[in-house]
Amino acid sequence: MIRNIDFRTDDGKTLRGWLKTPATGGPHPLVVMTHGAGGHKEWFLPALSDVLLGAGIASLAYDHRNFGESDGEPRFEIDPPIHIRDYRSAITFACTLPEVDKDRIGIFGTSLSGGQVLVVGAVDRRVKCVVAQVPSVSGAAGTVRRYQPEELVANRKRWEEDRMNRFLGKPPATVPHSVDDPNDAIAGRSSNRVKFFRFLTDEDKVHWKNTLTLRSLEAMAEFEPGVYARLISPTPLLMIVSQAEAQLMLPTYESALEPKKLVITRGDHYDPYMDEFETATTATREWFSQWLAA
């Protein structure tokens, strides 16, 4: 059974998504989930929720504020600390639902939201199980990995100019969220990034625009969720890491305490959504089944 839901955040914004539950029985264990940097609830999460449903696990998926069907201004702006608080508002909302067992709530995040669930799992003990898929673990390390030194200097100058312009009341500067040209200087560094956006259907992208605020890049560069991994225990943690990113992500996993598990998928950051979908979703289902069982 699936129905649309909306809930209020601590500061009064309305976030929107859907709730999917088994047709009978209950109250059910539930996983709260949202997508990564500028991603929408229509991406990957419906398919993952179906896998969980087969194990009797409900799911609540929503769009981050400023994106998709959720409220929030400026549009297309990523703000990790605020999005973390919104995750916790989603958990609070889930606890009010009669279909949900509030003592069996897990959280799932992927990419940027994979980093966010590391923080939520560390600070919110209502969470009984965490799955972080190809998580962003260090904004600083990711920024150095993505940009050449001269590009980073140029970016910092643009961020400073945008900060002053916004202070003076001018509209936020924007940049493309992604590009569809494999020869592009940035997109060409990950052909699977291009493949992934072509993999999405028009229906998947119905609420999406190829836009982020420039400040989103600065906010992601400042975000350091990996340091929270060691604080998640005794809550169980599964990290799903791609081969291409293992060197970056394994120190975060190693810093976490038991109970924990590591799954390494073939390929790069985008393969769990495509070629490694079965590996990633099976591991996710098994982990939540193990730790959210009655």
Q: What is the mean pLDDT of the chain?
A: 91
Domain count within the chain: 1
Q: What does the pLDDT read at residue 277?
A: 94
Q: What does the pLDDT read at residue 129?
A: 98
Three-class SS string for the chain?
A: CEEEEEEECCCCCEEEEEEECCCCCCCEEEEEEECCCCCCCCCCHHHHHHHHHCCCCEEEEECCCCCCCCCCCCCCCCCHHHHHHHHHHHHHHHHCCCCEEEEEEEEEEECHHHHHHHHHHHHCCCEEEEEEECCCCCHHHHHHHHCCHHHHHHHHHHHHHHHHHHHCCCCCCEECCCCCCCCCCCHHHCHHHHHHHHHCCCCCCCCCCCCEEHHHHHHHHHCCHHHHHHHCCCCCEEEEEEHHHHHHHHHHHHHCCCCEEEEEECCCCCHHHCCCHHHHHHHHHHHHHHHHCC
Residue 24 structural domain:
2-292
Q: What is the mean pLDDT of residues 256-283?
A: 95
Q: What does the pLDDT read at residue 107?
A: 98
Q: What does the pLDDT read at residue 290?
A: 96
The answer to whether residue 233 scores a pLDDT higher than 90 is: yes
Rounded Cα distance between 221 and 198, Å, is 26
Residue 35, domain CATH: 3.40.50.1820
From 105-114, 184-193, 199-208, the region with the lowest mean pLDDT: 184-193
